[in-house]
Amino acid sequence: MAEPQAIHLSDYRPPAYRVEKTELTFDLDPSTTRVRTRLHLQRHPEYGEDAALTLHGHGLTTERVAIDGQALLESEYRIEDDQLVIDRVPAEFVLDTEVVIDPANNTALEGLYVSGPMFCTQCEPEGFRRITWYPDRPDVMSVFTTTVIGDRQRQPVLLSNGNPIERGELPNDRHFVTWEDPHPKPSYLFALVAGSLECVRDSFTTMSGREVALELWVEAPNLEKTDWAMASLKRAMTWDEEAYGREYDLDLFMIVAVDDFNMGAMENKGLNIFNSAAVLANPQTTTDAAFQRIEGIVAHEYFHNWSGNRVTCRDWFQLALKEGFTVFRDQSFSSDINSAPVKRIEDAALLRTLQFAEDAGPTAHPVRPDHFIEISNFYTLTIYEKGAEIVRMLSNLLGEETFRRGSDLYFERFDGQAVRVEDFVDVMAEVSGEDLTQFMRWYAQAGTPQLTARSDYNAEQRQLTLTIRQQTPPTPGQEDKQALHVPVRMGLLGADGEPIKLVINGESNGTDTVLHLREAEQRWVFDDVDEGAVPSLLRGFSAPVRLDYPWSRDELSHLMRFDEDGFNRWDATQRLALIAIEEMMVAHQRGELMALDARLIEAFRHLLREPTDDKAVLAEMLRLPSEAWIAEQQTRVDIDAIHGARRAAIEQLADNLFAEFESVYHANQQTDAYAPTPDQIASRSLRNVALSYLVANGEPEALNMARAQYEADHNMTDVRAALTLLAHSDRADLGDPAIRAFGERWAHDSLVMDQWFATQVTRPQADALERVRFLMKHPAFSIKNPNRVRALIGAFTQQNRVNFHRLDGQGYQLLADVVIELNRLNPEIAARMIVPLTRYHRLDEQRQKLMRGELERIRKEELSRNVYEVVEKALA
């Protein structure tokens, strides 16, 4: 097998031929679907008549190729390396092709495939080439007409993009529907769905008064889980009109739920396809977290209609142009309709644990990469989450109003075009008059910038000097980094807790300001500052950076109580807890008694007795830093010490504050009927955090409270929280019956069974790995379904660090076995699942050796491009 080659951004050339119009006919059959394609092609003026026509295709059985109605001989074209090349073609012509594909055996779930009783497609980024010969690149935009022919019984519903323009009956109990999408689009936005589906209908009146029909298509048993997604969709449509002035542009908007899906959801024009886990919800089966996630994903895909579809990407190196912007848009939407500070805490926590880890590992890459082997590997936290942070920084830098003028101009100027990151940033520079040259480095440089801040107080002059240095560590292929433009939002708190007026160089700035760090080191002098002022830095997580500042524990307690910025109150709590846990880790390593810092206990006591924050934020403050975030702080990661110390900290908080947690638990009892409203979610979140501490205390009384909550069976949020506590306790007499009962009750619902799998394999006890092996044989598990794989294997390898990193190497071996199997079945999922095995660089020698050994074993296989790229980087 030839080594897969990298593709470089610098090699970009515009397409030689444009597709004016695409006409497709699908004759559906599970194992032999026939696709007839008619392309109206036109040579790009920059190219001459010697420009060959090159089309992409993968796994196609080609039955006919014709130009202007004339069938070509096999000698008149070439098929090699997934390309069909015709050396000489007219300047303008019609190309007909006919191919046969096999959806039933498409386990990669890219292109046209079968999921349960239905046919569906996934074309982003390069799935369309598995359907037909085509210039499968996002800068080729065409209008599409699609005829779908299916079985009247088995596929009564035949869907594609746009509007249905014709339907009719055919011989042999077949029928067809023809769809027309008037908006030019790249092939990655093509979609087709066929099967026996039920529909929930609603409608939306746009701001200009147009009626849009909304349709949500699901398999019949899921009809009871559609309300939330439909309501979310309407909220998203309203929000995009209000916040961005964006109106929907077709008469019909459809969402379809499918069970086998590699990602969460896909923004196909007029026909969004969703992983059923990302759209179906009801109170009995779905947790609060899942309700909120669904709301966010429905909004995200809908928002792509403008940020992605009307204005798309020139090439896949520009992926963050649509994903970063759209994630920022969905974050703003969720923040507007739920608890804004909690949304910010969640997004920042995700970024700084998982994206920072990506930045620190072998697959680190810039938000706009300059080369890749397999683009599917680049749907990463860096592209999505860091990409969104860059847009957020722009919005903060320019101010909301100017940013909105910029986005209006962007959508107007580039409507119907395929553009680059520069086009977006240039528009923002144009409307604001800002020089964003240095800012562009955020897109080009990989790695997490490290800020080191120090303050120096001069009592005589009553001046505080703040010095901030920045440095971005080297990442693979990028040794030297330049200084970035980093917005640092900050304030100063007086010793009395009051905010201090910020006077910088004689200029007054209120009590909250943004410092623009542009140099490797910069200094700011604050006048009129009394002794004992405490800096609050990087408020609202104003830039995706690490920040080091030598806050004392007293100063952190002070920030926890008095900072006006909710995010920094939370961050101060995390920092205070981290110091205490790190101290206990040292004790753990020395085999000494681990005693929790009394100041943390007192700080928590204060939080519980005199809560100043809303419940949602309070619940977040009470959660100790995750094992992943603690690990992020260590130069050498000690898996067992992190787990042991964190666990001991929780137990000691529970012992010391049992009564406080108990009263919070009782005070937050819900009496209203379940609804995923921000208020109710906040109460449940706080109550369940309290319950987790109570159970950690180990009193039988607390476990009985968990059991009672489980048995009360009010809603999945409370049931799942209680079930997790029971199943993760040492009390098998309580955990096992609950697990058994839950598994029996929900055997018919695969999405609930996924929660059941994940709950069991995230147990901290030593038998977790054996449970994974056992559950892989469970009838509800299938290695071919990505949701099952994520629920069982993903949850174990990503959320059960002590057991995945077992010193006997069995966790690594298990993951390698799964990756080897998935490499053949579904390379995209294989390359995602392998990631925990590549994060060995800061572990102990023994684990490093074991992990590398498993990677070497995988390397001996015949690898997909996806897995090949990740393994090569990991072993480099």
Residues that bind ligand BES (CB under 6 A): 124-125, 263-267, 296-297, 300-301, 304, 323, 327, 330, 379, 384
Q: Which stretch binds Zn ion (CB under 5 A): 322-330, 492-500, 574-582, 687-695?
A: 322-330
Residue closer to ligand BES, measured from CB, 51 or 289 = 289
Q: How far is the CB of 819 from ligand BES (least distance, A)?
A: 19
Residue closer to ligand BES, measured from CB, 372 or 384 = 384
Q: Which does 124 bind (CB under 5 to 8 A by kind): ligand BES, Zn ion, none?
A: ligand BES
Residue closer to ligand BES, measured from CB, 39 or 278 = 278
Residue closer to Zn ion, measured from CB, 323 or 385 = 323
Provide the residue type at 688 as one letter. N
Can you say whether the dihedral through the CA atoms of 804, 810, 816, 819 is positive or negative? negative
User: How many amino acids of this chain bind Zn ion (CB under 5 A)?
Assistant: 2
* Residues paired with 457 in a beta bridge: 464
Is residue 303 within 8 Å of residue 218, measured between CB atoms? no
Residue closer to ligand BES, measured from CB, 39 or 320 = 320
Give the integer Cα–Cα distance in Å for 847 and 54: 47
Q: How far is the CB of 305 from ligand BES (least distance, A)?
A: 11
Q: Which residues are catalytic?
A: 301
Q: How far is the CB of 271 from ligand BES (least distance, A)?
A: 13
Provide the residue type at 860 as one letter. K
Residue closer to ligand BES, measured from CB, 124 or 571 = 124
Q: Which does 447 bind (CB under 5 to 8 A by kind): Zn ion, ligand BES, none?
A: none
Q: Which does 263 bind (CB under 5 to 8 A by kind): ligand BES, Zn ion, none?
A: ligand BES
Give the alpha-carbon dihedral of 416, 417, 421, 425, to 10 degrees: -60
Residues with Cβ < 8 Å from 242, sequence gap 6 or more? Answer: none
Q: How far is the CB of 349 from ligand BES (least distance, A)?
A: 16
For residue 783, which of 817, 752, 806, 807 has the smallest C-alpha distance?
Answer: 817
Cβ-count burial 77-101 (b if 16+ within 10 Å, e if not): beeeeeebebeebeeebbbbbbbeb
Can you say whether the dihedral through the CA atoms of 412, 415, 417, 423 is positive or negative? positive
For 243, list phi and psi in degrees, rounded to 5.
Answer: -80, -30
Provide the residue type at 669 as one letter. Q
Give the integer Cα–Cα distance in Å for 491 and 479: 34
**CA neighbours closer than 13 Å in the CB half-sphere of residue 304:** 29
Give the integer Cα–Cα distance in Å for 615 and 684: 9
Is residue 81 within 8 Å of residue 129, measured between CB atoms? no
- How far does Cα 139 stand from its chain's mean position? 25
Q: How far is the CB of 330 from Zn ion (least distance, A)?
A: 8
Q: 3-state class of 58 per DSSP?
A: coil
Q: How far is the CB of 266 from Zn ion (least distance, A)?
A: 8
Instruction: Write the secondary structure of 714-773 as one string of H (helix), E (strand) and C (coil).
Output: CCHHHHHHHHHHHHCCCCHHHHHHHHHHHHHHCCCCHHHHHHHHHHHHCCCCCCHHHHHH
Residue closer to ligand BES, measured from CB, 304 or 763 = 304
Measured at the alpha carbon of residue 475, what is the angle toward residues 474 and 479, in degrees to the nearest 5?
Answer: 45
Residue closer to ligand BES, measured from CB, 189 or 649 = 189
| Closest chain position to ligand BES (CB) | 264
For 553, list phi and psi in degrees, rounded to 5.
Answer: -65, -35
* Residues paired with 274 in a beta bridge: 257, 265
Instruction: Report the 10 Å Cβ neighbour count for 587.
Output: 16
What DSSP character marks residue 75?
G
Residue closer to Zn ion, measured from CB, 161 or 309 = 309
Judged on CB neighbours under 10 Å (0-12, 13-18, 19+), 9 is middle
Q: Which does 814 bind (CB under 5 to 8 A by kind): Zn ion, ligand BES, none?
A: none
Judged on CB neighbours under 10 Å (0-12, 13-18, 19+), 49 is exposed
Residue closer to ligand BES, measured from CB, 234 or 731 = 234
Place of tokens 């909004």: 299
Q: Which does 297 bind (CB under 5 to 8 A by kind): Zn ion, ligand BES, none?
A: ligand BES
Q: How far is the CB of 125 from ligand BES (least distance, A)?
A: 6
State which of positions 799-818 bind Zn ion (CB under 5 A). Answer: none
Give the integer Cα–Cα distance in Å for 128 and 766: 45
Q: How far is the CB of 828 from ligand BES (least distance, A)?
A: 7
Q: How far is the CB of 330 from ligand BES (least distance, A)?
A: 6
Residue closer to ligand BES, measured from CB, 327 or 451 = 327
Q: Which stretch binds Zn ion (CB under 5 A): 156-164, 320-328, 581-589, 845-853?
A: 320-328
**Which tokens in the block code for residue 100?**
């046969």
For 143, list phi and psi in degrees, rounded to 5.
Answer: -85, 145
Place of tokens 């753990």: 588
Give the C-alpha distances (Å, rounded to integers) separating 536 from 9, 12, 527, 560, 769: 41, 45, 16, 10, 43
Q: Which does 660 bind (CB under 5 to 8 A by kind): Zn ion, ligand BES, none?
A: none
Q: Which stretch binds Zn ion (CB under 5 A): 315-323, 577-585, 611-619, 769-777?
A: 315-323
Q: How far is the CB of 708 from ligand BES (least distance, A)?
A: 36
Residue closer to ligand BES, measured from CB, 264 or 494 = 264
Q: How far is the CB of 191 from ligand BES (least distance, A)?
A: 11
Q: How far is the CB of 308 from ligand BES (least distance, A)?
A: 7
Residues with Cβ < 8 Å from 488, sequence gap 6 or more? Answer: 451, 468, 514, 515, 516, 517, 537, 538, 542, 543
Give the integer Cα–Cα distance in Å for 521 and 502: 20
Residue closer to Zn ion, measured from CB, 326 or 760 = 326
Q: Which does 265 bind (CB under 5 to 8 A by kind): Zn ion, ligand BES, none?
A: ligand BES
Is residue 648 within 8 Å of residue 584, measured between CB atoms? yes
Q: How far is the CB of 301 from ligand BES (least distance, A)?
A: 5
Residue ranges that bind Zn ion, judged by CB under 5 A: 323, 326
